[in-house]
Structure 1
Amino acid sequence: MANPVSSRDNSASPEASRRTDGAFRNHAPVQREGFRKTLRILWNVIFHKPRTTRPSGAVPVRALTQADLLAAPNHSVFRLGHSTLLLKLRDKFWLTDPVFAERASPVQWAGPKRFHQPPISLDELPPIEAVILSHDHYDHLDHQTVLTLAHKTRHFLAPLGVGDRLIKWGVDASKVRQLDWWQGTEVDGIRFIATPSQHFSGRGLSDGNSTLWASWVIIDDATRIFFSGDSGYFDGFKRIGETYGPFDLTLMETGAYNVEWPHVHMQPEQSLQAHLDLKGRWLLPIHNGTFDLAMHAWHEPFDRILALAWERSVAITTPQMGEAFTLTEPHRGRAWWLEVDGVVQEKENVACSGYKS
């Protein structure tokens, strides 16, 4: 591994990632899918996917300029799409899982296509202090995006093995920091801790679980932010909450779920419970609204998580793509997705009534 850095947080009495026979493992046993089930899932995705998995109308995007970002207050968060978020902390910019490609795929002529364009182009982005990566799947790590960002990014923070991939792509090794679970590093006074998630990795047929996957804790003095990456629900969220919580904001995976793959993505009920386990204050659901990666309606993650949050009196925000959410002046956003398809179901009106009051 190139450039392993930082010390383990012994106060957490943590367990490092587990690696056997060249492959990383989750701490909790995860059911392995058989060949027949995998083939059936693939068949359904190709031939039986409902039309509602993609929006029929245009997803609203609030266009951003570099001047907008430079003028934004600190502790601002901008959703750029899927799990790509731009954070402004200490007058610098930090970018999670950047994917600006047209498709989340190894090729750009096939695979899941974007519902919307990014609110800002790669060229227009200001200098990036650090890119924070959760794992190497195509909807979280895009080759061309990384190469374009490399010249304007000072640091790349990645789980073990993902950094090696970046270096092979041509990123300067001196910019790459690779961390195991529960290891932390500091950049410009801000602490970043790679924490466990329950998922998997790989970009081809022969590299399954050869790199690590992680969630991230971000600590800027008294402000604490959690970035989930991808994960099934597991008791690690409670462990992270007990060690580093409470969190002012959780950026929580809520999308691309299915009963066929319960161990690697969370249902909305589990996303909400993970937020509570983390002792989160504000919940911002991510991993939705940009790519067609499951069988559910594209807007379903928003509908369900919003209704659940209102039932449990959880503070939730759903900014549209490009809209700022600022921890110093938090807001709920609005149910923008109801306007996209032109037909609003009655249950959606009820679920989102809190936004209309």
Structure 2
Amino acid sequence: MFFIKLVAALIVMLGLAIYIVNNSIKAKVSPIEEVTSAPYEGLKFHNTAPRNPMSFSDTAALWVRFFTEKKVDTTPDINIPLRPVSRADLEALSSDTLHMVKLGHSSILLKVYGEYWLIDPVFSDRASPFQFVGPKRFHQPPISLEDLPPIDKVLISHNHYDHLDKASIKILLAKTQQFLVPKGVDGDLINWGVEANKIVTFDWWQELQTRQGLVAFTPTQHFSGRGMGDGNATLWGSWVIKTPQESVFFSGDSGYFSGFKEIGDKYGPFDLTMVETGAYDKDWADIHMKPEESIQAHMDLQGKVMMPIHNGTFDLAFHTWHDPFDRVVTEAERREVTLSTPEFGRIFSIIDLPPLTPWWQQAP
């Protein structure tokens, strides 16, 4: 049986490789010519702390593990609680504070003093280059792209498929004024039809002053890539948003590293940190945090309340779908950290954050 699964895994890997090559998903990324704050050498970006390199055999073993290891409870046996959101609901919100909606995985909708912002919008059914294979959504978004009001800003943390969704961007480009993206990601957006004058690219520690306050792009410990030969050709990172009254942090994807303390020292304290808590594994421990490390990152950031993100929507690892929630709650109680776990679609403001609500534990 194991041999059959192994052969099947190899066939699938070969088929996907052929499909990618035949469908021209090979990246076309221009070299970054200017000096950058993020380490950049050999036409690739690098983390401040070197990653543990994966050999070809390591990579092959991981693929074999992915296709042959038995997964247990990685998809929900409950109906994920979802609160539908309408455009009228959003327009009824006041314009004198910062409102938020967790849409799914790491996708966040904000109403920032009257302006609508989206972070890492992924509305497709799968976090994949294909819509016939790859991680499939556990639930639909609480609002459709078509029903969203005009968007002032879309913020992208990095170009992985569960954070940068081509189909979503192609719909959003006609209703969005500005795209804030890491260096190099502008190439993808321009290829998809976004006008270059709508795009602002960011290096680590680069800031933008807006009418609502400060936006800054800050480091993470991760990587990038969407196809054949574009590994680390574009930058990755996190976002700081500081309005006159609120301060929030969005982690994007990251392994635990000293950069969280640097960000906290420079921009903290934060009223709310949205910290990656999900898709971790022993085979990629340096680029995704365990829940216990997510809590430590929140503390390094000088956060007051933490909202776990990067969970509850896609199966991207080997752990159970609810393990991120279970473990982060246990660690938060141990470290006396305040968590906010809103259901998808729940509208809230920074001055009235939802309490810890164990919605993932409801009976099927």
Both proteins in one fold, TM over 0.5: yes
Aligned position for 2:345: 322
Distance (whole Å) between structure 1 residues aligned to residue 100 and residue 334 of structure 2: 25
Aligned position for 1:258: 281
Aligned position for 2:23: none
One of 309, 312, 319 as aligned partner of 1:286: 309
Report which stretch shifted further, 162-171 or 172-181: 162-171
Cα offset, 1:24, TM superposition: 0.4
Cα offset, 1:187, TM superposition: 2.7
- The yes-or-no answer on 1:27 pairing with 2:62 is no
Cα offset, 1:76, TM superposition: 1.6
- Given that 1:320 and 1:333 are in contact with CA atoms closer than 8 Å, whether structure 2 keeps it comes out as no
Any idea what SS the aligned residue of 1:238 has?
helix
Aligned position for 2:26: none
Distance (whole Å) between structure 2 residues aligned to residue 106 and residue 187 of structure 1: 33
One of 138, 147, 152 as aligned partner of 2:175: 152
One of 300, 304, 316 as aligned partner of 1:277: 300
| Cα deviation code 1:89-135 (max 9, x no counterpart) | 11111110010000000010000000000000000011111000000
Letter in 1 for 2:346: E
Cα offset, 1:186, TM superposition: 2.2
Distance (whole Å) between structure 1 residues aligned to residue 70 and residue 343 of structure 2: 26
- Structure 1 spans left out of the alignment, 5+ residues: 9-14, 343-357
Cα offset, 1:191, TM superposition: 1.3
Cα offset, 1:40, TM superposition: 1.6
- The yes-or-no answer on 1:93 pairing with 2:116 is yes
Aligned position for 1:143: 166
Distance (whole Å) between structure 2 residues aligned to residue 56 and residue 208 of structure 1: 36
- The yes-or-no answer on 1:81 pairing with 2:104 is yes
Cα offset, 1:329, TM superposition: 1.6
Aligned position for 1:350: none
Aligned position for 1:41: 62
One of 89, 102, 105 as aligned partner of 1:68: 89
| Cα deviation code 1:112-169 (max 9, x no counterpart) | 0000000000000111110000000000001010010011111100110012211121
Instruction: Map 1:288-303; keep pairs closer than 5 Å.
Output: 288-303=311-326
Letter in 2 for 1:35: F
Cα offset, 1:326, TM superposition: 1.7
Letter in 1 for 2:249: F
Change (3 A) 1:88 1:253: same
Distance (whole Å) between structure 2 residues aligned to residue 204 and residue 263 of structure 1: 21
Distance (whole Å) between structure 1 residues aligned to residue 348 and residue 361 of structure 2: 20
One of 193, 196, 200 as aligned partner of 2:223: 200
- TM-score normalised to structure 1 length: 0.90
Report which stretch shifted further, 34-43 or 205-214: 34-43
Letter in 2 for 1:46: F
Aligned position for 1:347: none
Aligned position for 1:351: none
Distance (whole Å) between structure 2 residues aligned to residue 76 and residue 310 of structure 1: 26
One of 238, 250, 254 as aligned partner of 1:231: 254
Distance (whole Å) between structure 2 residues aligned to residue 228 and residue 159 of structure 1: 14
* Structural RMSD (CA): 1.6
- TM-score normalised to structure 2 length: 0.88
Any idea what SS the aligned residue of 1:87 has?
strand
- Given that 1:254 and 1:301 are in contact with CA atoms closer than 8 Å, whether structure 2 keeps it comes out as yes
One of 128, 133, 137 as aligned partner of 1:105: 128
Cα offset, 1:188, TM superposition: 2.3
Distance (whole Å) between structure 1 residues aligned to residue 70 and residue 266 of structure 2: 41
Distance (whole Å) between structure 2 residues aligned to residue 307 and residue 67 of structure 1: 38
One of 136, 146, 154 as aligned partner of 1:131: 154
Distance (whole Å) between structure 2 residues aligned to residue 300 and residue 72 of structure 1: 34
Cα offset, 1:75, TM superposition: 1.7
Aligned position for 1:175: 198
Q: Which 4+ residue blocks in structure 1 deviate beyond 4 angstroms?
A: none
Distance (whole Å) between structure 2 residues aligned to residue 187 and residue 158 of structure 1: 15
Cα offset, 1:333, TM superposition: 4.3
| Cα deviation code 1:37-77 (max 9, x no counterpart) | 21122112112141311112221111110111112343221
Cα offset, 1:312, TM superposition: 1.5
Any idea what SS the aligned residue of 2:162 has?
coil
- Structure 2 spans left out of the alignment, 5+ residues: 1-28
- Given that 1:199 and 1:265 are in contact with CA atoms closer than 8 Å, whether structure 2 keeps it comes out as yes
Distance (whole Å) between structure 2 residues aligned to residue 186 and residue 127 of structure 1: 21
